[in-house]
Structure formats: C-alpha cells, structure tokens
Amino acid sequence: MKVLAIDDQKLVLIPLENRLKELGYEVRTATNALDAIDLYDSFHPDLIIVDINIPFMSGMEVVKYIRKTKNSSTPIMILSGNTEDAIILEGFDLGINDYMKKPLSLIEVCARVKKLIGAPKTNNKTILNKGIIIQQRCVGVVIPCYNEEKRLIHKEFTDFIDKNSGYYLCFVNDGSTDNTLEILNGLRNEREDFITVFNCKKNVGKAEAVRQGMLLMSKKEDLDYIGFLDADLSTDLTDFDDLVSTIENSEYMIVSGSRISRMGANITKRSVRSVISLAINFMIRKILSMDFQDTQCGAKIFHKEVIGISFDKKFVTKWIFDVEIFRRITLHFGLKKTKKILCEQPLKRWIHVDNSRLSMKDSIKIVGQLGQIAWSYRRKNKTLSKLRDLHKNKPVSISEIQ
C-alpha cells in the first residue's frame, strides 16, 4: 500500500514518513504542489495526505487536480493547521475523505490511515509508542556551547526531538578546548535530520556564537520561529516549548523567559548570583531606560520577521547581548510598540547549574559593557531621530547627522 504525503515543512514529513514505513506502507513525500502532482502521476498512491499551505499552489488545488482533472477517487486526507470552517467545508465538497487538524498525535494520524486504506502486512515487529505530536509550526533552536563536555546532557535533547516534531537544533561550538565538538558531532550523527553543528574554530564569545547560529537558522525556509537556549538546560526544553506556544498563539514577535520567583515555580539561584542579577537589572533600567524584568534569561524565541533587526549586525559586547537585542528592538519599533510585541513570560523552572561561568570579576566587566551599550545605542538613537526629522522636512545639517 502506497502513501503520498505532502507538506512544505520537512520536519513534519520526516516523523510521519518514518512511522508509516514502520507500519509497512510504501511512502513518498513532497514539499510543494508541483512535485506532489508529478509524484501522484508516477507513484500512483493508494492514499494522499496533504497540507493546505504549500508552495506554488494550495493543497486544495492539489485536491481539485486529483478529483476533477484526473477524475480519481483516490482517498485524500488533509492534515493542516488551518481550522477555518469554510476551508474544511470546501475540502469535503471537493470529495476529501478526512480532515485532520494540527497539532495531532501521530498515533491518531496512523489510525485514520488504517481506517481508510487498511493495514499492510508487516513482519510483526514491535513498534514503540513514542507519543509523537505532529505540530503546526516548526522551530529552530540555537544552543551555544563552550567547553560543555561535563554539562551537556545529550539524552534530554534527543528524547525531546523524538517526541516533539517540528524542532530543529543547531549546536554552535564556540572554539571549545575540550571534547565538546566530538560530543556534538555524535549527537548530530544520531539525529542528522533534526540536528546540525556549526563549528567556530576560535572562541568568539556567546554573543557572536548565538548570532551566527540565529542567522544560519534564518536561512531555513521551513522554520516559523527561531530561538536560543543555554546548553546546560537551566531552562529545560519543556519550558522552552511553553514559550513557543505563547508566540504561536499570540501577536507577540519575541517571547523571552523570565526568572521571576513566584508561587508554583521552581526558580533557584545561588545567593551571590541572585544579587548580581538584581543589580544588573537595576542598572539596565536606569542606564538604558528599559523597564524589563529579566533581559538576561538565556531562553528566547523570535518570529522570523525580527531576526534581521535583532542579529544582522555584530553586538557591541560579548556577554550581555540580550540587552542589545532588547535595545535594537526598542529603537526600531519604539518603546510603546515594543511592549506590545515583546513578552516576558515567567518560567516554571530555572535551576542554577554548577560550573556556571559568570564570576564576580565578569560581573564587574558587565557594568563597563552596559556603559558601552548605553553610549553606542545613544548615538544611534540620535542619528535615527535626526533622520526622522529629515523625513518630516525639518532642516537638519549634514554635519549634525555625522
């Protein structure tokens, strides 16, 4: 029995294809409508599973081609995040057999496939129930790594992507001098469809490592959102997924984790680190006039539209680039709009991990770096204001702008 699966996101197709093959189906996949039509004509599938939003033409046009142009009764299932009643009704009017709404359990998808076309003969091998969910969105996660050999719990990463479709991890090795790169390459070899490794031969600092990873991920067309996360998983992947759910189901363009102690949350910091964080946040508010609770949490997710604004240019500092991201967004959109598109979401869990690299000496350096940011972005703000004045036809001399 042959199945043709069509979706523009490869991260959705891979677990679906693997599961159907495990069950004994012969499977072909396509990521756009034109390839799908070619495959339909050559592969002659017994079932088509198609998304609505695919390149070149919609999935509904593929349905019309099969039902009207080819006059075929081949069973068709739509698997889509589109929940509009008009679309669903149009699908059934065209003669589809089933409409499945993402997110959806992969087990349920396969059960519906079996109901429509039956189950193929298999070798009776045991198929593990991994509880995979076919998600509506695809997410890239950048994880900067510097000498993480002793802290990197790679099983947590592989277990998470095994159970959560739509995640693609990019580990950035920041010139590590231990065996971090070897561990990362082993991780990639285990899950090469869902993990990539970007290697910086020299240590460039966390800010540049994250920036390079974010720009690399922004080139992947099938990702809807891109974020970054600390390698020690002080914020775990489940909590990060909550940030993704927030940005997916809101008008926010950035969702940043916030390590605010509150009832029901497990937020633990060493007392010294807690004092340092409070002092830094106070200085950020005063020096940069930014009324945010926690800019420094290492868990953030971004809509693709703001990646360029946030990461195109190199950061002024190596440590507190998060502050620069917030400052860039504020300068671009204005503080009022920024507060509407940027959400600080309290975390359920944040655990201080031993061997954290923030020392008292580093904290003193941060004070100087805050001054650098304040000076650098103050100059940029003045230039932007003068350019706006020019746009409003107000007389401003070239020497003033320079």
The predicted-structure confidence for 336-388, as pLDDT tens digits, reads as follows: 899 899 999 988 766 655 555 555 565 667 767 777 777 777 756 655 555 55
* Domain contains 169: yes
Residue that terminates a domain, selected from 82, 117, 152: 117
Q: Which residue has the tokens 């990521």?
A: 31
Q: Are 296 and 378 in contact (CB under 8 A)?
A: no
113 and 141 in a single domain? The answer is: no
Q: Are 259 and 347 in contact (CB under 8 A)?
A: yes
* Domain contains 173: yes
CA-to-CA dists, residue 147 to 54, 173, 329, angstroms: 41, 8, 31
Residues in CB range of 81: below 8 A, 6 or more apart: 53, 101, 102, 103, 136, 137
222 and 300 in a single domain? The answer is: yes
170 and 36 in a single domain? The answer is: no
| Residues 130-152, mean pLDDT to the nearest whole number | 88
Distance (Å, whole) CA 63 – CA 50: 8
pLDDT of residue 402: 37
Whether residue 398 is predicted with pLDDT greater than 50 in this model: the reply is: no
The residue ranges of DSSP E strands in 245-385, in sequence order, are 254-258, 266-268, 299-303, 342-346, 349-351
* Domain contains 397: no
Maximum average pLDDT range among 122-131, 255-264, 315-324: 315-324
Report how many domains make up the chain: 2
Count of CB atoms within 10 A of residue 313's CB? 11
CATH for 66: 3.40.50.2300
Count of CB atoms within 10 A of residue 351's CB? 13
327 and 359 in a single domain? The answer is: yes
* Domain contains 130: no
219 and 363 in a single domain? The answer is: yes
Two structure tokens written together for 97: 């057999």
Whether residue 167 is predicted with pLDDT greater than 80 in this model: the reply is: yes
| Residues 7-15, mean pLDDT to the nearest whole number | 91
Residue that terminates a domain, selected from 89, 117, 145: 117
Whether residue 152 is predicted with pLDDT greater than 90 in this model: the reply is: no
| Residues 13-34, mean pLDDT to the nearest whole number | 94
* Domain contains 283: yes
193 and 78 in a single domain? The answer is: no
Residue 93 structural domain: 2-117
* Domain contains 99: yes
Residue that terminates a domain, selected from 84, 117, 150: 117
- Output the average pLDDT for the chain: 84
* Domain contains 131: no
pLDDT of residue 223: 93
pLDDT of residue 268: 55
Give Dmax (Cα) for the chain. Answer: 81
* Domain contains 324: yes
257 and 290 in a single domain? The answer is: yes
100 and 157 in a single domain? The answer is: no
213 and 249 in a single domain? The answer is: yes
Q: Are 347 and 235 in contact (CB under 8 A)?
A: yes
376 and 255 in a single domain? The answer is: yes
pLDDT of residue 401: 35
pLDDT for 176-201, tens place per residue? 999 999 999 999 999 999 999 999 99
Whether residue 148 is predicted with pLDDT greater than 80 in this model: the reply is: yes
89 and 185 in a single domain? The answer is: no
Concatenated DSSP letters of 99-116: EEESSEEHHHHHHHHHHH
Distance (Å, whole) CA 346 – CA 356: 21
pLDDT of residue 208: 96
pLDDT of residue 382: 58
Distance (Å, whole) CA 107 – CA 77: 15
CA-to-CA dists, residue 338 to 289, 309, 376, angstroms: 13, 13, 20
| Residues 101-121, mean pLDDT to the nearest whole number | 92
212 and 343 in a single domain? The answer is: yes
Distance (Å, whole) CA 117 – CA 66: 17
CATH for 157: 3.90.550.10
